[in-house]
Amino acid sequence: MDGLGEAVTPQAIAACEKIIRPYIRRTPVIETDGREFGLSAATICLKLELLQHSGAFKARGAFTNLLTRAIPKAGVVAASGGNHGAAVAYAAMRLGIPAKIFVPSVSSPAKIKRIREYGADLTIEGDGYADALAGSEAWAQQTGALPVHAFDQNETIMGQGTIGLELDEQLPTIDTVLVAVGGGGLVAGIAAWYAGRIKVIGVEPFASPTLTRALEAGHPVDAEAGGLAADSLAPRRVGEIVFPIAQKYAPRTVLVTDDAIAEAQQTLWRTLRIVAEPGGAAAFSAILSGAYRPADGERVAVVVSGGNTAAVNFDITR
């Protein structure tokens, strides 16, 4: 497919959705009043992608890759902080394809366990995503396995963009959607679907501001890579294909602290009994912390993008 996101159009996303529909869940939306959380009288709509197969939105991009590209005998290989690896492992299991997954040591035990449960061959490589990516690239070179990139690939971005299509059908009158950003495949896919029709705002931790730094520089650059959500939101650099899409259709980001993310996790549990991982709660933390302040009457969708965490992190007696 064409480079630099030229292939990622609403029409291509709609075609992709038809291909992957038999393999993915249409995840639900919960509409809440912002006053439930001590906020303005905005409508907060939570898109629960943590209920997707493999526990995160990544299954959409994984199935798009495995169903639309030629798969060699050696199968597929992926590098991941955890969720993409679980998604590729799950899709490969469903389709009977060999899968090799590389994750860094910061990947959570819950994600490592899930990858192994899906039957993929797992290697822990280095301390960060960049190390796992280097390991996956060497494996692809050595074996001929097909690389499935976590975010910077047209097929991956189009798969994640099917969330935008679903949101459009479920919530046709929303004004804004808040999306957590790591490498940027999710925000680029959703932004490409809406193509400027609504506000799409990226939410990043101060500890790993990949898209923020790229927008400031005018091109992808290395950024800090750490923090509470390092296993899902800290690839160091936003994608080269991702960037022009985000720059055109999602040119605003807000930054949140690790404390705000942790508080969002607890609030989702206390108020709605939703168990989200740190990266999955990051977008919601922007509203709770005031990093993004909805206007009275604004209808805001928030993608709760992942739930691969241990339930024991939450006080179930509260």
CA distance 58 to 160: 7
Q: Which of 283, 281, 231, 225 shows the shortest CA–CA distance to 255?
A: 283
113 is catalytic: no
HSE, side-chain direction, 13 A CA sphere, residue 242: 30
Distance CA 71, CA 140 (A): 12
Sheet hosting strand 121-124, strand order edge to edge: 121-124, 99-103, 76-79, 146-147
Catalytic residue among 47, 54, 58, 108: 58
Choice among 80, 285, 289, 305 that is catalytic: 305
Local structure of 39: helix, strand or coil:
coil
Q: For the chain, how far is it from start to end, CA to CA, in angstroms? A: 50
Reading across the β-sheet that carries 199-205, which strands appear in turn?
29-33, 43-48, 299-304, 176-180, 199-205, 252-256
Q: Report the alpha-carbon distance of residue 64 to residue 87 in Å, rounded.
A: 11
What pairs with residue 77 in β-bridges? 100, 147
Q: Return all residues near 127 (Cβ < 8 A) that are at least 6 apart.
A: 104, 105, 106
What is the three-class DSSP state of 303?
Answer: strand
Active site residue 54: no
| Residues designated catalytic | 58, 305
